[in-house]
């Protein structure tokens, strides 16, 4: 299982140099002001498996097919939106809209451009294992049952404190009157560890989750109904770039605008990354989808 750093501001450069960031930047959640270089594309991503896969896939194609260097920055969601709006990053490939990242997007929408939608049909919500009878838990409302609350120990396993899903889950507890429940804020890795332990022991649990995610291939899970739409419905994931990126680097910008992944292909790639590594899974994806890659880079011959 992959473990991501939530509190470190880590810069990774593929084929390029690594830029050291002062520790003080972490405390202010700020990104450094970097000189823009059209030959180096700076991409940011949050510590989520889907975001890491698509970002590293884009980086590999940009380097191998377009001949440009790529620098990758992994950090929390808020600094990523701030960074692309300030021009410290060229693009992020993980803006969940219209609900999850609405607050972040609303603050920067006049200072960024949308290059396109990388995949549709994304979803967030709460899940339970399939071995929990639907007659016992079918919706958020069922969590109020005393016997259900007892089996769940009054806990909802959550993810990062800065995630939109965390904010919406906190509101869902209020909307459904689940006052006796506690949202266990952790990280993606922490949530997955808790789910794995409970699942192996066939214990009841409810956890925050999102699709696409490799966890749905490893575990038999189902979303529970959210009649009040506290966490929203289907979403699309967009690629946002800094202003002037299209004019500064039209080749890379046009590539990103054509990059679209069927959600089932993405989940398969994420599953491969868990079994091997992100680098190996990305290489396999490129090898298995030559026509798709040609379309992305504009090589239709």
Tens digit of each residue's pLDDT (9 = 90 or more) over 230-256: 997 789 999 999 999 999 999 999 999
For helices 49-66 and 278-288, the axis angle rounded to 10 degrees is 60
Residue 32: is its pLDDT beyond 90?
A: no
| pLDDT confidence tier of residue 30, bands split at 50, 70 and 90 | very low
> Based on the domain organization, do 89 and 129 belong to the same domain?
no
Pairing of strands 112-129, 221-223: antiparallel
Does residue 229 form part of some domain? no
Residue 13: is its pLDDT beyond 70?
A: no
Q: State the Rg of the chain over Cα.
A: 20
Q: pTM, whole model, 2 decimals?
A: 0.75
Tens digit of each residue's pLDDT (9 = 90 or more) over 149-179: 999 999 999 998 988 899 999 999 999 999 9
> Based on the domain organization, do 116 and 134 belong to the same domain?
no
Does residue 1 form part of some domain? no
User: What pLDDT sits at residue 3?
Assistant: 35
> Based on the domain organization, do 158 and 218 belong to the same domain?
yes
pLDDT higher at 28 or 79: 79
Alpha-carbon distances of 142 from 148, 158, 176, 208, rounded to whole Å: 7, 19, 10, 16
How far apart (Å, rounded) are the C-alpha atoms in residues 91 and 112? 9
> Based on the domain organization, do 74 and 31 belong to the same domain?
yes
Mean predicted confidence (pLDDT) in 1-27: 34
Task: State the greatest distance between any 2 C-alpha atoms of the chain, in Å, as a whole number.
Answer: 63
Query: Domain count of the chain?
Result: 2
> Based on the domain organization, do 25 and 65 belong to the same domain?
yes
The domain of 68 spans 10-121+235-297
H or E element in which residue 216 lies: helix 215-218
CATH number at residue 181: 3.40.190.100
Residue 91: is its pLDDT beyond 70?
A: yes
Share of the chain above pLDDT 90, in %: 75
How far apart (Å, rounded) are the C-alpha atoms in residues 286 and 56? 11
Does residue 5 form part of some domain? no
Sequence-distant (≥ 6) Cβ neighbours of residue 124 within 8 angstroms? 96, 100, 164, 165, 168, 208, 209, 210, 211, 231, 232, 235
Does residue 35 form part of some domain? yes
Tens digit of each residue's pLDDT (9 = 90 or more) over 197-235: 999 999 999 999 999 998 988 899 999 999 999 997 789
Decide which of 223, 256, 277 is a domain's last residue.
223
Q: Using CB atoms within 10 A of its CB, is residue 14 exposed (0-12), middle (13-18) or buried (19+)?
A: middle
> Based on the domain organization, do 117 and 255 belong to the same domain?
yes
Provide the mean pLDDT of the chain.
87
Decide which of 164, 192, 223 is a domain's last residue.
223
How far apart (Å, rounded) are the C-alpha atoms in residues 103 and 44? 18
């Amino acid at each position: 299982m992959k473990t991501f750093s939530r509190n470190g501001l880590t810069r990774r450069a593929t084929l390029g140099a690594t830029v050291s960031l002062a520790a003080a930047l972490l405390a202010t959640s700020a990104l450094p002001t970097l000189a823009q270089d059209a030959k180096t594309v700076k991409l940011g991503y949050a510590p989520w498996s889907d975001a890491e896969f698509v970002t590293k896939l884009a980086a590999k194609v940009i380097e191998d097919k377009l001949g440009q260097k790529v620098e990758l920055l992994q950090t929390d969601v808020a600094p990523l939106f701030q960074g692309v709006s300030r021009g410290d990053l060229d693009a992020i490939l993980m803006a969940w809209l219209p609900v999850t990242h609405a607050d972040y997007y609303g603050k920067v929408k006049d200072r960024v451009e949308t290059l396109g939608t990388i995949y549709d049909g994304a979803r967030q919500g709460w899940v339970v294992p399939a071995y929990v009878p639907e007659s016992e838990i079918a919706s958020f409302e069922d969590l109020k049952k005393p016997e259900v609350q007892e089996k769940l120990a009054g806990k909802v396993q959550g993810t990062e404190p800065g995630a939109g899903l965390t904010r919406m889950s906190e509101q869902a507890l209020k909307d459904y009157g689940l006052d006796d429940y506690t949202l266990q804020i952790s990280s993606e890795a922490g949530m997955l560890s808790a789910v794995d332990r409970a699942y192996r022991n066939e214990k009841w649990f409810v956890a925050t989750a999102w699709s696409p995610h490799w966890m749905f291939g490893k575990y038999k899970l189902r979303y529970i109904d959210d009649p009040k739409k506290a966490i929203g419905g289907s979403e699309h994931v967009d690629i946002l770039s800094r202003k002037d990126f299209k004019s500064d680097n039209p080749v890379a910008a046009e590539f990103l605008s054509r990059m679209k992944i069927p959600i089932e292909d993405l989940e398969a790639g994420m599953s491969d990354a868990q079994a091997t590594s992100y680098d190996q899974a990305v290489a396999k994806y490129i090898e298995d989808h030559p026509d798709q890659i040609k379309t992305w880079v504009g090589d239709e011959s």
